Structure 1
Amino acid sequence: MCGRYATTVDPGRLAAELDAIDETDVPEPAAAGADAVSAPDYNVAPTNQVLTVVERHDRDHPGDDPRLRLRRMRWGLVPSWTKPGEPGLPAKGKPLFNARADKAATTASFRDAVKKRRCLVPMDGWYEWLTEPAGAGKTVKQPYYMSDADGGTLFMAGLWSVWRDPATPDRPPLLSCTILTTDAVGEELTRIHDRMPLPMPREHWSAWLDPDHPAPASLLATPDPAVVSSIVARPVPTLVNSVRNNGPELLGRVDEQSGQLGLL
């Protein structure tokens, strides 16, 4: 599962690097309980507004080639058929912040998005918790942080949806997304958790993001361990356990033997 991650990428810089259109300032209705996000964010949690990369045609010039676009979306996919709740907002339900890649195409909440609304979710790294012995017969849930060894941005496969309230047709639609997960691969990652976000290598972006054609089924398959060979895992402070904590100290290095916080 991927239920918490960190991202420090600046949308403007990322847009320039990807030659993408920055649409992160487009107004959207705030979902109940959602928090506005500002980079950097070291403790991204479900219902936050998060950065995504999509490829879409221009609404005013649909015949033009599609362009990469950066958009903010609510993390926790809201299917288009979700009933309204409070005025202008969808009914509350369990946040669909993860979707199994091997089942998404046949799951009612995700199958439409698999066909035509696929995205990338950029992140610095993600967190998982591993139950470890704490002495005297006790155990502790130790948080680990998985990231690129060289500090590069990771791009995970995601799906997105557009929800509109029929009672307020003039209100901007709610954009929401989910992160696809797959079986963990590689000795280090499988030791910590049996699932991981689905990485999307850059050479597959064109096929994955293509708004006019389905993505090859092979892109939803468990990746080769080589795809995650640059990802390393390390224990981090339990500060990350609370979504109220947010800062670079969450990524402080913890000595695996002493359990003491050290320097980055």
Structure 2
Amino acid sequence: MCGRYATTVDPSLLAVELDALDETDAKEELLPQEAGPNYNVAPTNKVLTVVSRHDRDHKDDEPQRRIRRMRWGLVPHWTKPDAPGVPAKGKPLFNARADKAATTPSFRDALKYKRCLVPMDGWYEWLTEPGAGGKAVKTPFFMTPKDGSRIYMAGLWSVWRDPHADNVSPLLSCTILTTDAIGDLARIHDRMPLIMPQGNWDSWLDPDHPAPAGLLESPDEDIVAQLELRQVSERVNSVRNNAPDLVDRVQPGQIDVGEQISLL
């Protein structure tokens, strides 16, 4: 699964790199970590996504890549409002199984024509092992490209509108697809986010055609082999911690300065 990740790219830079339109709103109200580098992205945070859509006024034109911010935790378009302009609360749908998305009511509509990419520097996962007294010990790892590049995860997105509140802006939200973990990743967790290779981006983002079934399968092992599985500080366990050193490597048994302070 993927329940935390790190991302440091600026939307304007991402737009230039991907030849995309930057449709993020500079005036949008954001949390401090959402407005800049976020080393501890958590569900319900607003995150950057890449979509491909036709121009609203020129639907016959070729679709264009666009950078948009969305709530991480998909809200299906049929969700009932809990208050004017506010969708009913429920468990955040931040992950979706790739092998079941086509038949799951919350995701099947989005899988057809609302697919996205979620850029990140890497994601966190916890290795669970038995500890003293039978208590489980969870060790955090950061999975990131060895060459320092960015990775893009396959995602789905949705637009939620309150049918009774016309003056409220629609809510854009997304989820990250997951598959069975492969290679060394399987030693840490049995699930992994679905990495989408650049050669498949156009097919995945195509707003006019369903995605080829093969794109929903686990990535090739050579893609996973390019990742570093880096043990990191347990401070990442708390979403209140958000700093560049969260992605730094720690050696097994090592306690970093931040953890020493918290133990005093």
Q: Is 1:142 the equivalent of 2:139?
A: yes
Distance 1:37 1:82 in 2: 25
Aligned residue type for 1:237: S
Instruction: Name the CA shift for 1:103/1:26 in 2 (closer, same or farther; >3 Å).
Output: farther
User: Conserved in 2, the CA contact under 8 Å of 1:28 and 1:175?
Assistant: no
Alignment of 1:69-80 (within 5 A): 69-80=66-77
Aligned length: 257
Q: Is the 8 A contact 1:29 1:172 kept in 2?
A: no
Offset from partner CA, 1:65-88 (integer Å, 9 cap, x none): 110000000000000000001221
Aligned to 1:84: 81
The one-letter code sitting in structure 1 at the alignment partner of 2:225 is: S
Q: Distance in 1 between matches of 2:152 and 2:242?
A: 21
1:175 corresponds, among 172, 176, 189, to 172
The runs of 4+ residues in structure 1 deviating greater than 6 Å are: 26-30
TM-score (norm. length: structure 1): 0.92
Structure 1 residue 252 displacement after superposition: 2.3
* Aligned equivalents of 1:137, 1:57: Cα separation in 2: 55
Cα deviation for residue 135 of structure 1 reads 5.6
Q: Which moved more, 1:244-253 or 1:200-209?
A: 244-253
1:18-75 deviation digits (Å, cap 9, x = unpaired): 1000001177799xxx887122000000000000000001112111111000000000
Specify the SS of the correspondent of 1:68.
strand
Higher helix share: 2
| Unmatched tracts of structure 1, length 5 or more | none
- What secondary structure is seen at the aligned counterpart in 1 of 2:218? coil
CA deviations 1:151-195 (Å, max 9, x no partner) are: 111100000000000111232110000000000111x21100000
Asked if 1:151 corresponds to 2:148, the answer is yes
Match of 2:191 among 184, 190, 195: 195
CA distance in 1, matches of 2:214, 2:83: 40
Q: Paired residue for 2:248, among 246, 249, 252?
A: 252
Cα separation, 2, equivalents of 1:16 and 1:113: 26
The aligned residue for residue 201 of structure 2 is 205
**Distance change (3 Å), C-alpha of 1:26 and 1:40:** closer
Structure 2 CA distance, aligned partners of 1:232 and 1:21?
A: 31
How big is the shift at 1:259? 2.6
RMSD across aligned C-alpha pairs, in angstroms?
1.9
Match of 1:230 among 205, 209, 226: 226
Aligned to 1:55: 52
Once residues 115 and 29 of structure 1 are traced to their aligned partners in structure 2, the CA distance between those partners, rounded to angstroms, is 30
1:11 matches 2:6: no
Greater mean deviation of Cα atoms: 156-165 or 225-234:
225-234
> In 2 relative to 1, CA 25–115 (structure 1 residues): closer, same or farther, beyond 3 Å?
same
